[in-house]
Structure 1
Amino acid sequence: MNQENSTVLSSYEASAEEIQKVIMDWARATEAFHGRYAKLNQVINSLQTALSRQPKANRARLRQLIDLREHMSDVLMTLLLDMSGKKSGRSMQSSKPGQLHSHASLLDELNRKIDAELISFTTVAQA
């Protein structure tokens, strides 16, 4: 006698309001991330200009900011690939539950780190 084991999968269906909130959080975090990226580019450009006029300017600080910008680019590319579903040769996959929320949280965390770097730069530049 063949018995089939059936597994009941419980799934959580998010409400339209919850989905809208997650999308808005993601959009806000993404917009803030892009704004900070632009600001970081301005800071790096001004430091590079200062280095050409004053070679003894803080090269280590510039290197640190350039590394942060590269990290931001890597994170952004990773998130874009994650959203596209293309992962190392595998076929398209549907979005994972909570993916936008995870991305928004990651971007918020990175935004805080960027803010700390930019604030410390502004403080040093004003001194």
Structure 2
Amino acid sequence: MNQEESAITFGYEASEEEIQKVILAWAQATEAFHYRFAKLDRIINTLQTTARRQPSASRARLNRLIELRQHMGDVLMTLLLDMSGQKTGQSAQLSKPGQLYSHANLLDELNRQIDAELISVTTVAQA
């Protein structure tokens, strides 16, 4: 018997129903995140076009939105790499339900931040 077979695993085993709930929460958070990213991208493109025509447009707001978009892209790439298990020097492994849950929570938090920023942009644009 080799060492791997003799290793005893301890820990919590999630039920199939719990795993399905976590996957659904992750999928919903990911879909919402992609929707907000696309919306943010459209707003940035509009503001950049407006800024070219009206140089006095709020550069600070545009820069903040561009930074937020970059942060969103970085987070998404990090989560995708985490899910793929392609970390340097480690063998590929499947994501655990805990990782999915953490990812869903992180995406939900970012979605709230994005919503707050988008609401402020929309409010200013309507004024």
Q: Same fold (TM over 0.5)?
A: yes
Inter-partner Cα distance in structure 2 for 1:49 and 1:112: 26
Match of 2:11 in 1: 11
Inter-partner Cα distance in structure 2 for 1:78 and 1:125: 32
Match of 1:36 in 2: 36
More deviation, 6-15/53-62:
6-15
Inter-partner Cα distance in structure 1 for 2:57 and 2:98: 45
Match of 2:26 in 1: 26
Identity level (%): 72
May I ask how many residue pairs the two structures share in their alignment?
122
Inter-partner Cα distance in structure 1 for 2:71 and 2:19: 29
Structure 1 residues 81-120: aligned runs within 5 Å? 81-120=81-120
Inter-partner Cα distance in structure 1 for 2:51 and 2:8: 64
- What SS class does the counterpart of residue 92 from structure 1 fall into? coil
Inter-partner Cα distance in structure 2 for 1:43 and 1:98: 34
Q: Which structure 2 residue ranges, 5 or more long, are not aligned?
A: 1-5
Residues 12-44 of structure 1 deviation map (CA, whole Å, 9 limit, x = unaligned): 221111111000000000000000000000100
Native 8 Å contact 2:22 2:97 kept in 1: no
- What SS class does the counterpart of residue 87 from structure 2 fall into? coil
Match of 1:78 in 2: 78
Inter-partner Cα distance in structure 1 for 2:34 and 2:7: 44
Inter-partner Cα distance in structure 2 for 1:87 and 1:8: 25
Shift of 1:96: 3.6
Higher helix share: 2
Residues 70-126 of structure 1 deviation map (CA, whole Å, 9 limit, x = unaligned): 000000000000000011232213324501000000000000000000000001111
Match of 1:3 in 2: none
For 2:112, give the aligned amino acid.
R
Inter-partner Cα distance in structure 1 for 2:46 and 2:32: 21
Inter-partner Cα distance in structure 2 for 1:67 and 1:40: 11
Inter-partner Cα distance in structure 1 for 2:120 and 2:64: 12
Shift of 1:8: 6.1
